[in-house]
Amino acid sequence: MQSMKAMVLERPGAPLVLTERTAPVAGPGQLLLRVKACAVCRTDLHIADGDLPWLGRPVIPGHEIVGEVIGLGDGAAGFAIGDRAGVPWLGWTCGRCAFCRSGQENLCDGASFTGYQIDGGFAELTVADARFCFPLPPSYSDAEAAPLLCAGLIGYRSLTMAGPGERLGVYGFGAAAHLITQLAVRQGREVYAFTRPGDRQAQDFARSLGCVWAGSSAGEAPVALDAAIIFAPVGQLVPVALAAVRKGGIVVCGGIHMSDIPSFPYGLIWGERQLRSVANLTRQDAHGFLAAAQQMPVRAEVIRYRLQDANAALDDLRAGRLSGAAVLIPTEI
């Protein structure tokens, strides 16, 4: 294939444009992938809307990629032609800094990210560093596997940071929440879902996945929580979640971007409550979550879109119209 179609973000705040581009070629250590599915993440929305710093050049978003290996660069290991590979947000790290050497590669200052510094999966073809790609459980279709690669991985890291507490609150019931809720329920936890006020569809969806309670984030929690994870990028939820957890409880901010956190009285964090953030992911997170997802198993609820309908998928995500994860299918262009 000498050319490919891709949805390109030419500047923040503008719609993505369906563009004909020269097909990429696998460089040293890289895989050339035919994209079979790419989930749409809120981080893609943050990049498109300009919430994250603009890098000054057009970019192909998308970092929850399921692809078929159709080319191998020199030295690429771990995959063969025809294999299925998953590509996550973390696309490359230096491997030399103190963070990388201590198992915190997610904090590497020199890291590059798929669909941001590296062109991503809103395209028919893409390339990726083989060291940062993963084999995927065969029990998942391409579309079902795609959300596991960020919504699942970031959710899994958030759940781990939240500790082993029995009563878990989840604020914002989107792609990550619907996957991690299933994992938490299978671990024997009570999950409480907090949604936008009046969002009965999301509340019903949460209960269908095993949540013991689902209601508005504007109201009080029905019980004292051991921990809470905030997936919604809404800073105002931080003091709300702190008020909902018991003394010694943990609040985890699970997104890469959040609106400003308002000031709050010291009493909300007193009592050794902890406020933590999740930054990116590690390859170890991927190995842990993909094994757990298959063992449980975790079911991914997906809404399919054609590649050229990426703007509609972003609009639906922005407006909160999705129950589950939006997934682009480039083969249906």
* Rounded Cα distance, 33 and 85, in Å: 8
| The residue to which tokens 């009965």 are assigned | 200
Half-sphere CA count of 122, side-chain side, radius 13 A = 30
What pLDDT does residue 331 have? 82
Beta-strand relationship, 125-129 and 90-92: unpaired
Helix 310-318 to helix 42-49 angle (10° resolution) is 100
**Average pLDDT of the segment spanning 141-152:** 97
Residue type, 147: P
Instruction: State yes or no: pLDDT of 332 exceeds 80.
Output: no
pLDDT in tens, 62-83: 999 999 999 999 999 999 999 9
Count of beta carbons in the 10 Å neighbourhood of residue 131: 15
Instruction: State yes or no: pLDDT of 186 exceeds 70.
Output: yes
pLDDT in tens, 276-309: 999 999 999 999 999 999 998 999 999 999 999 9
Q: Where does 70-227 have alpha helices with state H? A: 98-101, 142-145, 151-161, 175-186, 200-208
| The residue to which tokens 């919430």 are assigned | 51
Q: Are 326 and 305 in contact (CB under 8 A)?
A: yes
Count of beta carbons in the 10 Å neighbourhood of residue 125: 24
* Rounded Cα distance, 262 and 235, in Å: 7
C-alpha Rg value of the chain to the nearest Å:
19
Confidence band for 1, pLDDT divided at 50, 70 and 90: low
Instruction: State yes or no: pLDDT of 236 exceeds 70.
Output: yes
Percent of the chain with pLDDT over 90: 97
Domains and CATH numbers, the chain: 3-149+281-332 (3.90.180.10), 153-277 (3.40.50.720)
What pLDDT does residue 316 have? 96
What pLDDT does residue 20 have? 97
Q: Please give the mean pLDDT across all residues of the chain.
A: 96
**pTM for this entry:** 0.94
DSSP 114: B
Instruction: State yes or no: pLDDT of 41 exceeds 60.
Output: yes
What pLDDT does residue 333 have? 57
Partner residues linked to 274 by β-bridges: 250
Residue type, 23: A
**Average pLDDT of the segment spanning 140-162:** 97
